[in-house]
Amino acid sequence: QAEQTLAGKRFVITAGGTKERIDPVRYIGNDSSGKMGTALANVASALGAEVELITTANLPTLPEVHVTDVQSVADMQQAVMAHFQASDVVIMAAAVADYHVLAPSDHKLKKTSEQSGLTLQLEQNPDILKTLGETKTHQLVVGFAAETDDLLQHAQTKLAKKHADLLIANFVGGGLGFNQDTNAVWLMQPNTEPIQVPEASKLEIAETILNTIQQIRG
Ligand code: PMT
């Protein structure tokens, strides 16, 4: 059994890609499998933390992990906010859609004619991480940044704009990041040089992230 270094700590962790409904059988989604967030939940739990996993993915968890299943960003935001006040650490590993369909159809959309296209009007979603960063009192707020270009520069901007205490930057694309069993990341904290973590299993990356969180919290 792992040393219970996180005993008594309450973690809220999100995982997976959000789904924004177009109609009852279609949605706008993304390639996140939930492996990274679920690995964080399982490792935190093995270290003794009380873990609330808010997820769109249906992956195996340790029996002690409390799981809330969600689909849309609105569902995810509601579940995160319900647990935020009582938490010590929130980790937003989910790939959260920036937009939702303004008026999802309550019946399956039909093709109208051979030629006509379909236009979906999208509206911006709330930024959950930014809200957490702006309203935190005692909580440590941790985000991820998935980038296909200028990784460190974009991640640095997100760290500052979303008022995160720790941001995990991961390059995605070309078979990296989404839906893999391994990841390679940079750990970024305000006013600190980024630390590179070379490619390792998502479980090992989760251990490194949780060690860093413990160091920040002393
Ligand atoms: O799930 P896997 O297949 O294992 O893949 C893991 C991963 C690549 C999805 C994960 O490691 C990761 O990078 N997650 C964040 C993906 C993402 O949405 O990045 P972003 O750069 O779009 O968002 C930045 C941060 O803001 C994230 O912490 C995100 O959860 C949060 N966010 C984004 C938009 C929004 N409306 N609300 C948010 O809270």
- Does 73 score more than 80 pLDDT? yes
- Active-site residues: which are they? 30
Q: Judge whether 126 is annotated as a binding position.
A: yes
User: Can you tell me which residue has the tokens 């901007």?
Assistant: 157
- Cβ 145 vs Cβ 169: under 8 Å: yes
Question: Of 70-74, 112-116, 127-131, 153-157, which gets the smallest average pLDDT?
Answer: 112-116
Q: Which CATH number fits domain 10-103+120-216: 3.90.1150.10, 3.40.50.10800, 3.40.50.10300, 3.30.1490.20?
A: 3.40.50.10300
- ipTM topping 0.95: yes
For 178-210, what is each residue's pLDDT tens digit? 999 999 999 999 999 999 999 999 999 999 999
Q: How far from chain centre, in Å, is Cα 194?
A: 20
Single out the residue of 204, 175, 170 nearest to residue 185, CA to CA.
Answer: 170
- Does 174 score more than 90 pLDDT? no
Q: Is 144 in the pocket of ligand 1 (CB under 6 A)?
A: yes
Distance CA 190, CA 156 (A): 8
- What strands, in cross-sheet order, belong to the sheet with 182-188? 66-69, 50-55, 10-15, 89-92, 140-147, 166-171, 182-188, 195-201
Q: The pTM is what?
A: 0.97
- Give residue 15 CA to ligand 1 midpoint distance, Å: 9
